[in-house]
Structure 1
Amino acid sequence: MINWLSLAEAPVPEGGLFDFDATLPLMAIQVVILTFILNKLFFQPVGKVVEEREGFVTTSHKDAKARLAQVQRLEDDLKARLQEARQEAQAVITAAEDEVATLHKAALAEAKASAMKLREEARADIKAQRSAADVVLAEESRRLADLIIQRLVAT
């Protein structure tokens, strides 16, 4: 087997653009060991934290979508209830208007009936007074006629 350390200590020949001696494999081994150490010490824990955060973000996003859908359903339900309440209120208003119109018609009919009754009573009263006045006038005219006849006959 080749002793890499002894090759690294060998004198470096001068001359070429690139010198490939024992330092190249030694550096490659150091890079592999450093990569392994960095991966175990830093990259795996950081990767776990990144994965956990990504999972948290994904879960939060799903929860937010579910809540948004629930809010949308609730909003639609409330809109439907509001529409029903408006229709019920309109029905109540229409019923109240109809009831007021009916009561108005009944009160008007009652007032007309009362006025007709009062008018008929007044007519009957006037007729009775007229009859009484006719009787009084007839008596007065007979008395005057008798008085005129007596004066004409007496003269």
Structure 2
Amino acid sequence: MSTGLFDFNGTLPVMGLQVVLLSWLLEQILYSPIQGVIQKRQNKIQQELQLAADQLQKAQQLTQEYQTQLQKAREKARERIRQVQQEAQTMMEDQLKQAQQQMTQLFNEAMQQLEQQKQQALMNLSNQVDEVAKFILSKLMKQ
């Protein structure tokens, strides 16, 4: 018997059977469970990616809604500020008109008082002139 590199004797089918049996055992014991774990992991990763994508889309929608609400709130605040400024302007104009009316009234009252004082001073002066004239006349008459 010669032992060459490839001897085709009774051990070849046994070795072939061993390879097939070992392949089947490895498939059952090692490869199938590992493939199951890998498949589960891929499914879980895919689910988490889908969940993350859904959450990202929801976050973008919420961001858009918040931006819209913020814009509306800013516009409402601007409108309210404009109204308050307009009300303040109107109030200031009303107060200015009232102050002008009061000043005009005070001025008119002061002018009336001055006119009365002038008339009274003229009457007093006239009375004093009359008295002085009477005094002078009485002095002249005595002489």
TM-score by length of 1: 0.84
Residue 110 of structure 1 deviates from its aligned partner by 0.7
Q: Which runs of 4+ in 1 moved over 3 A?
A: 15-18
Q: What is the aligned length?
A: 143
State which drifts further: 65-74 or 25-34: 25-34
Percent of pairs identical after alignment?
A: 28
Any idea what the Cα deviations from partners look like across 1:23-78, whole Å, max 9, x if unmatched?
22221111011111221222222222221221111111101100110011101111
Any idea what the Cα deviations from partners look like across 1:104-135, whole Å, max 9, x if unmatched?
11111111111110111011011011111111
2:56 to 43, 68, 80: 68
- Which entry has the higher C-alpha Rg, 1 or 2? 1
Distance, in Å, in 1 between the alignment partners of 2:5 and 2:27 is 34
1:149 to 124, 134, 137: 137
Specify the alignment match of 2:46 in structure 1.
58
Please tell me whether residue 100 in structure 1 is matched to residue 88 in structure 2: yes
Letter in 1 for 2:129: S
Distance, in Å, in 1 between the alignment partners of 2:115 and 2:125 is 15
Distance, in Å, in 2 between the alignment partners of 1:129 and 1:15 is 155
Within 5 Å, give how 1:1-155 maps onto structure 2: 13-14=1-2, 16-155=4-143
State which drifts further: 144-153 or 15-24: 15-24
RMSD: 1.6
Distance, in Å, in 1 between the alignment partners of 2:101 and 2:130 is 42
Give secondary structure in 2 for the equivalent of 1:14. Answer: coil
Give secondary structure in 1 for the equivalent of 2:8. Answer: coil
Structure 2: where are the runs of 5+ without partners?
none
Any idea what the Cα deviations from partners look like across 1:75-109, whole Å, max 9, x if unmatched?
11111111111111111111111111111111111
Distance, in Å, in 1 between the alignment partners of 2:3 and 2:67 is 88
